[in-house]
């Protein structure tokens, strides 16, 4: 087997980790619909805490296909504060 017989696989570059600046921007201007990870950043709690609130029925979520998203208004009601 030579080099021409071996397929070349394109490997995407590793995803960059969010920085503190990214979190500050997200907190300053949160979108209307948040992922679980974004909701945790905006509310300054852990991802696990967001999942616990969802499991307990205290935080209402919406499903978009297989994705679980959280309307910002629901997060604001649950956390008891205005996020934007």
Looking at residue 27, what is its pLDDT? 79
Residue 33 has pLDDT above 60, yes or no: yes
For residue 13, give the DSSP letter. Answer: P
- pLDDT tens per residue, range 53-78: 999 999 999 999 999 999 999 999 99
Hey, what domains does the chain have and what are their CATH numbers? 20-79 (1.10.10)
Q: Provide the percentage of residues in the chain whose pLDDT is more than 70.
A: 77
70 close to 59: Cβ distance less than 8 angstroms = yes
Global pTM value: 0.71
- pLDDT tens per residue, range 13-23: 666 666 777 78
40 three-state secondary structure: helix
For residue 83, give the nearest of 15, 29, 45, 9 by alpha carbon: 29
Residue 47 has pLDDT above 70, yes or no: yes
């Amino acid at each position: 087997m030579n080099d021409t017989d071996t397929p070349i696989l394109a490997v995407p570059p590793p995803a960059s980790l969010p920085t503190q600046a990214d979190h500050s921007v997200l907190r300053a201007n949160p979108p209307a619909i948040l992922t679980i990870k974004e909701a945790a950043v905006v509310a300054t709690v852990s991802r696990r805490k967001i999942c616990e609130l969802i499991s307990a029925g205290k935080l209402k979520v919406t499903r978009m296909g297989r994705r679980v998203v959280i309307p910002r208004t629901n997060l604001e009601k649950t956390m008891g504060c205005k996020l934007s």
